[in-house]
Amino acid sequence: MKRGELKKMLSDADAANNSAIEFWFDFSSPYSYLAAEKIDALAASYQRSVHWRPILLGAIFQITNAVPLVQLPLKGDYSVRDFARSARFLGLPFTMPSQFPLPTQQAARAYYWLCDHEMAKAHDFARAIFRALFVHDRDISDLAVVCDVAASMGLDPDALSLAVARPEVKAQLKSETDAAILKGVFGAPFFMVGDESFWGVDRLPQLEQWLATGGF
């Protein structure tokens, strides 16, 4: 069994035992960025681990017939205001990207490769990618930007650049997205504690109450 397959098996077993919070996100989701800045600390308060799982919302939208919020009449203008307001409410910096939405395959594949090779830095890398897009307005669809973020953390950008093109790395991202769909994930951020689902950064208070009480 490959190391990545073993880690996923252990991850799934951990989640099944209700000890972990599953966190699905797309790097192009502003609300996922906000959740990514909060979820680890929240989980640690209740001695829980978090399994971070980037996915591709575009593939999910093909099933749900959804589109990015900013492309919806009326709701699009509101969402742009709400992104910034929600960030201020949570005390987080936010810049609306000049290119939005944008493809996130490169960043997501890089994350999964890091899980197999630099697991201790994987969450920090994900947060750095989010900040590159939603704080510094960098184009994370560009592999060179993804590699630059990795290099700034002391990771090997050349190894990462080669890795994201490998068929098995591409397949892992597709597999994770397919698995999310099978579990009922329809948006991002999306959390699961056992069999209980929570959608949206605004559900973090409910998620915390669930952890504190064991359910309600």
Q: Tens digit of pLDDT for each residue in 23-61?
A: 999 999 999 999 999 999 999 999 999 999 999 999 999
* Integer Cα distance of 100 and 98 in angstroms: 6
Q: What is the CATH number of the domain that holds 159?
A: 3.40.30.10
Q: Is residue 99 over pLDDT 60?
A: yes
* Integer Cα distance of 199 and 59 in angstroms: 17
The DSSP bridge partners found for residue 188 are none
* Integer Cα distance of 190 and 184 in angstroms: 10
Q: Is residue 17 over pLDDT 50?
A: no
Q: Is residue 4 over pLDDT 70?
A: no
Structure tokens at 184: 């009922």
Domains contained in the chain, number: 1
Query: What is the arithmetic mean of pLDDT over 98-117?
Result: 96
The reported pLDDT for the residue numbered 18 is: 56
Count other Cβ atoms within 10 Å, centred on residue 208. 16
pLDDT digits (tens, 9 = 90+) for 149-190: 999 999 999 999 999 999 999 999 999 999 999 999 999 999
Q: What is the mean pLDDT of the chain?
A: 92
- Pick the more confident residue, 160 or 18: 160
Q: Is residue 8 over pLDDT 90?
A: no
Within a 13 Å sphere around the CA of 213, how many CA atoms are in the beta-carbon half? 8
Structure tokens at 71: 């492309």
Find, among 81, 50, 55, the residue nearest to 172 by Cα: 55
Q: Is residue 135 over pLDDT 50?
A: yes
What domain range includes position 114?
3-213
* Integer Cα distance of 28 and 61 in angstroms: 14
Rg (CA), the chain: 17
